[in-house]
């Protein structure tokens, strides 16, 4: 067993640890309810559903309120940005690197999250979130493909993603354990 094999195993463990932290962060951000509180009968339930594509985004764009525009920018940008790593990690971890297969997985995962939010009465279930999450995942997939095009080697891409993950881990841990997200 050479040093490359040990390095590969360490990278793999590290990437999975970062990915698990990322999934926990997504849970904290998107479901906003501690696991133990999901079944609390005194929990406030607030259901809102939007099934019309681009309606929320249109309301944000055409609003005259600066506060709503700031929220809109954070909401639209956040929904895109938060799913970029999922697209990247999914493409890295799966043997099937096809864009459409991975994009479909991301859209289904986002749909599942929106259904859970609707069923549990957590925030708004919004078709626009699925569209924006899908766009973010697509950007992540394209980011992986771009790195592969530039670096021309899957192992180098994996190393680059490991380095980027190491740079992002402190921010992720801060968001996961320090920041209270009561949106």
Half-sphere exposure at residue 151, Cβ-oriented, CA atoms within 13 angstroms: 15
SS3 assignment, position 124: strand
**Where does 62-126 have alpha helices with state H?**
66-81, 84-93, 99-120
Separation CA 61–CA 68 (nearest Å): 9
Span 6-41, pLDDT tens digits: 989 999 999 999 999 999 999 888 887 666 565 666
Centroid of chain to Cα 172 = 12
Span 144-174, pLDDT tens digits: 999 999 999 999 999 999 999 999 999 999 9
Q: Quick one: how many helices (H) and strands (E) in the chain?
A: 7, 2
Q: How confident is the model at residue 183 (pLDDT cuts 50, 70, 90)?
A: very low
Span 69-107, pLDDT tens digits: 777 778 889 999 999 999 999 999 998 889 999 999 999
Q: Residues 6 or more apart from 80 whose CB is under 8 A from it?
A: 132, 133, 135, 136, 139
Q: Which residue has the higher pLDDT, 52 or 90?
A: 90
Q: What is the pTM of this model?
A: 0.86
Domain boundaries, the chain: 3-177
Q: What is the DSSP letter of 83?
A: T
């Amino acid at each position: 067993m050479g040093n490359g094999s040990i390095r590969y195993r360490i990278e793999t463990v590290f990437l999975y640890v970062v990915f698990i932290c990322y999934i926990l962060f997504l849970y904290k951000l998107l479901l906003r309810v501690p696991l133990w509180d999901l079944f609390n009968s005194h929990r406030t339930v607030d259901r809102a559903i939007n099934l019309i594509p681009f309606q929320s985004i249109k309301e944000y764009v055409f609003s005259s309120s600066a506060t709503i525009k700031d929220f809109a920018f954070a909401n639209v940008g956040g929904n895109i940005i938060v799913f970029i790593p999922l697209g990247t990690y999914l493409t890295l971890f799966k043997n099937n690197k096809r864009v459409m297969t991975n994009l479909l997985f991301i859209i289904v995962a986002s749909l599942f999250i929106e259904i859970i939010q609707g069923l549990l009465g957590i925030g708004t279930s919004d078709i626009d979130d699925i569209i924006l999450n899908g766009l973010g995942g697509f950007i992540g997939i394209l980011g992986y493909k771009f790195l592969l095009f530039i670096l021309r080697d899957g192992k180098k891409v994996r190393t680059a993603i490991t380095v980027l993950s190491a740079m992002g881990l402190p921010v992720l841990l801060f968001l996961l354990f320090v920041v209270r997200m009561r949106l």
